[in-house]
A and B are shown apart, each in its own frame.
Chain A
């Protein structure tokens, strides 16, 4: 299983774009990348998922370079409510139960 590395914390101000990068140097051909968001006193919530290039949804964008050894979660114009912990996970499309290692995640603090 590919191990992931993320910054422990990041600070931002309202209205700014925030980019959180996750390193997964040992990612395998069948691995996909998933990001979750967790607010205090809640369970993690799925944000976005991708395999290569760029994925965008109503919440965020996920950029994955050609070598797939890293990925960047981009949150456009953050607000105070985006303050949360963000987790990057890597899993195998052919094996159930592989995208289950959360690590400590990145704590994003957004200030006004």
Chain B
């Protein structure tokens, strides 16, 4: 089974330029997450989707960040314009949650499967 796919793996841009990251989750996973991970820190959630609906985007800096998951499958995260402080690794993860989804047990857990991430460097 293919894992979570992310592209590109690396991206170098100058500040004020736009950038976009793409994620294809594991087939059948209804929940998709975008995280940002700064050096030496754990991943921090930016946005969580259940199918095509963004159910938690409270940590997404909405002035410059946007995300979409139009058909409830793959997703794109965009930054426009990028700032120096946006340099980080952007991780995508997927899982099967919540309960009520066919094939998911009554009590579910958010076991997430992560992609390799995109390392963004803003110069």
Contacts and interface: CB of A to CB of B under 8 A. Distances in A.
A84 to B, nearest CB: 13
B114 A45 contact: yes
Given A41-B116, A43-B93, A100 B108 contact: no
Interface string B37-66: 000111111001010000110000000000
A46 interface: yes
Interface string B108-123: 1111111111010000
Contacts of B110: 34, 91, 96-100
A43 B91 contact: yes
Contacts of B119: 41
Contacts of B50: 96
A93 B98 CA distance: 9
Contact of A43 (B45, B56, B116): B116
Given A96-B97, A97-B48, A97-B55, A104 B116 contact: no
Contacts of A42: 114, 116-117
A96 B111 contact: no
A46 B42 contact: no
Contact of B42 (A49, A95, A99, A102): A102
6 contacts: A43-B4, A45-B114, A91-B110, A97-B97, A99-B109, A102-B42
Interface of B: 4, 31, 33, 40-45, 48, 50, 55-56, 91, 93, 97-99, 107-117, 119
